């Protein structure tokens, strides 16, 4: 097969996989708690800075994973307790509150690190020969890790006891509370899980993208579109939405150029919001 | 004119009766001048927006230049006072600020380091009434009256670089990639001619939206298929970082050289050492330039602002040069009269942070440095003296 065609094909798979993992945290928090976390991109940014701090301190790259979980988890729990909890079931208020939070996190990062760019050295440099073409090894690794994270989490949600409790809480919070499920703690944990996933996404993409306080904005938009198209809050929907947004963007960018790719994404998103607001897999 | 300035005058007018009417403008301007002996320079810097990073450096550099001038007696015996204003806003906002600076603050001069859209808005507002010094890298071609452009033009960057790549690297084929707005398109228009002059050819030219969350895997794959000798980059900021990291990630840096038109210390810090192989830039200033004048400048900068001084780069240091140029111009013209300034500017020789420069056609023949990236440092490989700007405005 034509190596350029293969490369563009892999680019498409990469776009879909990375978008799915970046949108995962947003999907968990929205699907289960009904909170649209507009600061999702900023948690990705915090995760990316964790990767930077780890490598700047001379530690191995994987050390960024526990650091990002600790920082984003801690932040997530704090934010849930003092900002989100009083606002459950007030979707518009949580929207405004998390938007404010995103400004705060961005400015905090600016105060701590300045506006200047930083870079995280590629932990897995070089290219690998696949299907007759050279493709960056780290991107191939990310495709595999993204699939594992998304698949693993879905399986856990379906099979584990905690997953069962969460489903009970989502289905009927009062009844869940009555049968002894501590819904408050479960909700806090779910929110923190969402922010941790964002942080992990940040660690994963840190070596690929420009690292600076404003970077989160780039990711929240595509993640949000993926959820809109997939249908808010279902596992299949998340994958379908990422496939449509990431796929359309990558395909049109490869066939025409990036301007048309971005245009196509916006058109698809608008069409869905207009004609099919529930998404492909409405709950 | 603000109401604050008018009120006492109106009272005086009423007291003096109708007879005072004829003398009112004279009284008014007399008051304004007497109250304000400072030489006021309104300086537009990116204090907000995507280029806000450069604001603090520009401000610090301008303050340093003003300090040095004031210690040496000021401009025409008047102390220089800077009025920093946000140039990182929408053009219409900047135009409003220009009106305020002229009518309320009565600035003697304007200086700006910002994008061309803002320059256009300020230029049409000011209409040459006060000298306006425009300092950053830009696409060339600005010839409105009483505007003086000091920044690097495509000819000054591309001329030396494309010539060097053709002779030293035997580069023949070029791939052009940039953000979709005025500066990249005009720069590439000029670059195409420079490439043709060297007997080279352009394989493809592509643009990505400015301000969109761009990713570069697809474009880089296209470049991989096209196999050019050189990629000419007119992407800016985060997109420039993103493209170069993706490019190196795909291993294309092994065979293809890259020349970027807007590559300074901050962008290179984002690109990183693992993605900067065979990456070139050609600028009028690099912070690490080992020149006596630059060592002196950096010592003075460090002495004034200490360890917390904002990082230096060509965007920022341009404001220092701008203030120094302003003094040279006004001293030679013996005032800020538009015609006198325009006449005085022709052939005006003035000092910069590197070598002295000469103004011709309200643009500058200046020293350019072609550099290859070594990790996250610029290593100058060739210096070009008095490179013409390619734009010469008539009187």
**Three-state SS across chain A?**
CCHHHHHHHHHHHHHHHHHHHHHHHHHHHHHHHCCCCCCHHHHHHHHHHHHHHHHHCCCCHHHHHHHHHHHHHHHHHHHHHHHHHHHCCCHHHHHHHHHHHHHHHHHHHHHHHCCCCECCCCCCCCEEEECCEEEEHHHHHHHHHHHHHHHHHHHHHHHCHHHHHHHHHHHCHHHHHHCCCCHHHHHHHHHHHHHHHHHHHHHHHCCCCCECCCCCHHHHHHHHHHHHHHCCCCHHHHHHHHHHHHHHHHHHHHHCCHHHHHHHHHHHHHHHHHHCCCCCCCC
Q: Say whether B275 and A115 touch across the interface (CB within 8 A).
A: no
In this prediction, residue A193 carries a pLDDT of 95
Position A91 confidence tier, pLDDT thresholds 50, 70, 90: confident
CA distance to partner chain A, nearest, from residue B107 (Å): 31
For residues B33-43, one letter each, b for 16 or more C-beta atoms within 10 angstroms of the residue's C-beta and e for the rest, the string is eeeeebbbbbb
- With beta carbons less than 8 A apart as the criterion, state whether B82 and B69 touch: no
Whether B209 and A262 lie within 8 Å, measured CB to CB: yes
Residue from the list A14, A125, A219 with its beta carbon closest to the beta carbon of B217: A14
Cβ neighbours for B327, distance < 8 A, ≥ 6 positions apart = B69, B75, B80
Chain A partners of B218 at a C-beta cutoff of 8 Å?
8, 11, 250, 253-254, 258, 261
**What is the three-class DSSP state of B204?**
strand
Helix runs in chain B, H state only? 3-16, 24-35, 55-71, 91-103, 116-126, 154-168, 182-197, 217-226, 237-249, 265-271, 292-305, 314-333, 338-345
Which of A7, A116, A126 is the closest to B269 by Cβ? A116
For position B8, what pLDDT does the model report?
Answer: 42
What is the nearest CA distance from B180 to chain A, expressed in angstroms?
9
Residue A43 has pLDDT above 80, yes or no: yes
Residues on A contacting B at a C-beta cutoff of 8 Å: 4, 7-8, 11, 14-15, 114-122, 125-127, 134-136, 138-139, 207-212, 214-215, 217-219, 221-222, 249-250, 253-254, 257-259, 261-262
Write down the pLDDT at residue B197: 95
pLDDT in tens, A142-160: 999 999 999 998 888 888 9
Q: Which residues on chain B place their C-beta less than 8 Å from a C-beta of chain A? A: 50, 52-53, 180, 206-209, 212-219, 221-222, 224-225, 237-238, 241-242, 245-246, 249-251, 266-267, 269-275, 311, 376
Cβ of B213 within 8 Å of Cβ of A134? The answer is no
Give B241 to chain A, closest Cα distance, Å: 6
A125: nearest CA partner in chain B: B249
Distances (CA, A) of B371 to A179, B181, B209, B293, B344: 70, 26, 28, 19, 34
At residue B76, the pLDDT reads 94
Q: Residue B270 and residue A259: Cβ atoms within 8 Å?
A: no
Structural domains in chain A plus CATH codes: 3-121+135-275 (1.10.3470)
| B251/A262 Cβ within 8 A | no
pTM of the model: 0.91
Average pLDDT over residues A48-65: 96
Partner-chain contact B311 A116, CB within 8 Å: yes
Q: Give the mutation candidate from A206, A258, A262, A266 for the B interface (greatest B CB count, under 10 A).
A: A258
Give B110-178 as a 3 state SS string: EEECCCHHHHHHHHHHHCCCCCEEECCCCCCCCCCCCEEECCCCHHHHHHHHHHHHHHHCCCCEEEEEE
* B47 min Cα distance to partner chain A (Å): 12
Q: Which of A197 and A181 is assigned the larger pLDDT?
A: A197
Taking an 8 Å cut-off on Cβ atoms, the answer to whether B249 and A262 are in contact is no
Q: How far is A45 from chain B (nearest CA, A)?
A: 14
Instruction: For residue A107, list chain B residues with Cβ-Cβ distance below 8 A.
Output: none
Query: Which residue in B215, B272, B264 sits closest to B242, CA to CA?
Result: B215
Task: List the domains of chain B with CATH numbers.
Answer: 39-152+288-367 (3.40.50.2300), 154-283 (3.40.50.2300)
Residues in A touching B50 (Cβ below 8 Å) = 214
Q: Which of A11, A115, A259 sits opposite B52 (nearest CB)?
A: A115
Q: Do A119 and B275 touch (CB under 8 A)?
A: yes
CA-nearest residue of chain A to B224? A4
- What is the nearest CA distance from B53 to chain A, expressed in angstroms? 6
Distance, in Å, from the CA atom of B344 to the CA atom of A105, rounded to the nearest integer, reads 51
Q: Note whether A16 and A244 are within 8 A (CB).
A: no
Which of B185, B213, B309 best probes binding to A when mutated, by most A CB atoms within 10 angstroms? B213
Question: Of the candidates A129, A126, A128, A135, which has an alpha carbon nearest to the alpha carbon of residue A9?
Answer: A135
pLDDT for B198: 94
Count of CB contacts below 8 A, A vs B? 117
Give the phi and the psi of residue B199 in degrees, each rounded to 5. 80, 15
Across the interface, of A7, A118, A258, the residue whose CB is closest to B270 is A118
User: Model ipTM?
Assistant: 0.94
Give pLDDT, residue A283: 54
Higher pLDDT among residues A277 and A267, named by residue: A267
Give me the pLDDT at residue B190, please. Answer: 96
Q: What is the residue-level pLDDT of chain B in tens, covering all 395 positions?
A: 333 344 444 444 444 444 444 444 444 454 444 446 899 999 999 999 888 889 999 999 999 999 999 999 999 999 999 999 999 999 999 999 999 999 999 999 999 999 999 999 999 999 999 999 999 999 999 999 999 999 999 999 999 999 999 999 999 999 999 999 999 999 999 999 999 999 999 999 999 999 888 999 999 999 999 999 999 999 999 999 999 999 999 999 999 999 999 999 999 999 999 999 999 999 999 999 999 999 999 999 999 999 889 999 999 999 999 999 999 999 999 999 999 999 999 999 999 999 999 999 999 999 999 999 999 999 999 999 999 999 888 76
How near does any CA of chain A get to the CA of B376, in Å? 10
Question: Which residues from chain B sit within 8 angstroms of residue A223, using beta carbons?
Answer: none
- pLDDT at residue B36 in the model: 60
Interface touch A116/B266, C-beta < 8 Å: yes
């Amino acid at each position: 097969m034509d190596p350029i065609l293969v490369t563009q094909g892999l680019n498409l798979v990469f776009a879909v996989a990375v978008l799915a993992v970046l949108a995962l945290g947003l999907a968990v928090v929205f699907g289960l708690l009904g909170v649209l976390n507009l600061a999702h991109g900023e948690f990705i940014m915090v995760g990316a800075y964790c990767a930077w701090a780890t490598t700047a301190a001379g530690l191995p790259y994987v050390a960024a994973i526990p650091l990002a979980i600790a920082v984003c988890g801690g932040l997530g729990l704090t934010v849930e307790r003092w900002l989100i909890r009083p606002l459950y079931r007030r979707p518009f208020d949580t929207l405004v509150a998390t938007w404010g939070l995103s400004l705060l996190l961005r400015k905090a990062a600016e105060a701590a690190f300045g506006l200047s760019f930083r870079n995280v050295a590629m932990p897995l440099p070089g290219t690998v020969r696949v299907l007759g073409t050279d493709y960056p090894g780290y991107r191939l690794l990310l495709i595999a890790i993204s699939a594992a994270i998304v698949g693993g989490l879905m399986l856990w949600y379906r099979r584990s006891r905690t997953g069962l409790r969460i489903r009970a809480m989502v289905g009927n919070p009062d009844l869940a509370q009555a049968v002894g499920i501590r819904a408050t703690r479960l909700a806090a944990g779910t929110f923190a899980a969402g922010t941790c996933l964002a942080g992990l996404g940040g660690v994963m993409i840190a070596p690929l993208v420009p690292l600076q306080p404003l970077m989160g904005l780039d990711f929240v938009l595509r993640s949000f579109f993926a959820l809109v198209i997939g249908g808010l809050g279902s596992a299949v929907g998340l994958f379908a939405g990422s496939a449509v947004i990431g796929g359309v963007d990558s395909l049109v960018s490869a066939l025409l150029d990036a301007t048309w790719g971005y245009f196509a994404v916006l058109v698809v998103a608008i069409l869905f919001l207009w004609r099919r607001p529930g998404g492909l897999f409405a709950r | 004119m603000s109401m604050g300035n008018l009120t006492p005058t109106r009272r005086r007018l009423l007291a003096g009766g109708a007879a005072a009417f004829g003398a009112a403008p004279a009284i008014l301007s007399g008051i304004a001048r007497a109250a304000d002996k400072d030489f006021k320079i309104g300086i537009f810097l990116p204090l907000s927006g995507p280029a806000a990073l450069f604001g603090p450096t520009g401000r610090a550099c301008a303050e340093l230049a003003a300090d040095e001038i004031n210690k040496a007696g000021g401009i025409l015996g008047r102390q220089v006072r800077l009025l920093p204003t946000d140039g990182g806003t929408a053009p219409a906002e900047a135009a409003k600020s220009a009106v305020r600076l002229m009518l309320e603050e009565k600035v003697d001069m304007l200086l700006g380091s910002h994008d061309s859209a803002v320059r256009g808005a300020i230029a049409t507002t000011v209409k040459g009434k006060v000298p306006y010094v425009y300092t950053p890298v830009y696409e060339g071609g600005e010839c409105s009256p009483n505007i003086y452009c000091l920044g690097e033009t495509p000819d000054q960057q591309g001329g030396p670089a494309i010539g060097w790549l053709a002779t030293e690297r035997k580069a023949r084929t070029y791939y052009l990639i940039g953000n979709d707005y005025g500066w990249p398109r005009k720069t590439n228009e000029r670059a195409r001619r420079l490439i043709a002059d060297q007997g080279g050819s352009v394989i493809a030219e592509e643009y990505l939206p400015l301000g969109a969350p761009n990713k570069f895997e697809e474009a880089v794959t296209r470049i991989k298929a096209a196999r050019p000798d050189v990629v000419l980059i007119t992407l800016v900021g985060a997109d420039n970082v993103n493209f170069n990291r993706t490019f190196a990630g795909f291993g294309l840096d092994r065979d293809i050289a890259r020349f970027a038109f807007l590559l300074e210390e901050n962008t290179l810090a984002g690109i990183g050492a693992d993605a900067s192989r065979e990456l070139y830039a050609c600028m009028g200033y690099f912070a690490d330039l080992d020149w006596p004048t630059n060592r002196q400048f950096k010592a003075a900068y460090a002495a004034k602002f200490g360890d917390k001084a904002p990082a230096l780069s060509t965007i920022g240091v341009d404001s220092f040069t701008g203030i120094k140029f302003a003094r040279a111009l006004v001293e030679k013209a013996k005032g800020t009269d538009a015609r006198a300034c325009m006449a005085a500017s022709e052939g005006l020789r003035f000092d910069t942070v590197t070598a002295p420069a000469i103004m011709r056609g309200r643009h500058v023949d200046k020293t350019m440095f072609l550099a290859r990236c070594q990790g996250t440092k610029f290593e100058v490989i060739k210096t070009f003296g008095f490179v013409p700007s390619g734009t010469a405005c008539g009187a």
